[in-house]
Amino acid sequence: MTEARRRKSRSRPLHPPNREGTTLLNRIGQKTEAFAERWLAKRGLVLLARNYRCRLGEIDLIMRDAEGLVFVEVRRRSNEFFGGGVESVDRHKQTRLAATAEHYLANHEVGADIPCRFDILAIDGPGHEARVEWVKDAFEF
């Protein structure tokens, strides 16, 4: 391979954006989060915010159930070569989620006595064979 060809191949993105500027991975992520939102709504949770962002991080879904406020991290894995979705939420990610949740609580009128928890909704496996795993109160801060 020539040097010019090697440089050109390195500059191409792995998942190029479409006309709207979203990549294949963005679209898969959006569909996965929409599925997760519907799946949790069928189980009684009510959506408060989607993709809440601040300088500290992002929370995929903020929902409410009969027990209190639920911060949901949605994970999608088409295969488990690098581990499943639940295992991918490491201590660093947990710390960022907790900081973002604190930012949300500080900037929204939520009662101080409302219990909060962090859930993980993992969707593992290809297509229609995917398994949904809902881990309530997955970690504490």
pLDDT averaged per 10 residues, the chain (length 141): 58 56 73 91 97 96 96 82 74 95 92 91 80 92 80
pTM above 0.85, yes or no: no
Q: How confident is the model at residue 102, as a pLDDT?
A: 95
d(CA 135, CA 36): 13
State the pLDDT at residue 93.
93
- Domains parsed from the chain with CATH numbers: 24-139 (3.40.1350.10)
List beta partners, residue 73.
120
What is the reported pLDDT for 106? 93
Q: Where are the alpha helices (DSSP H) in 42-133?
A: 91-107
From CA 48, how far away is CA 70, in angstroms rounded?
A: 10
| Alpha carbon distance 9, 92 (integer Å) | 33
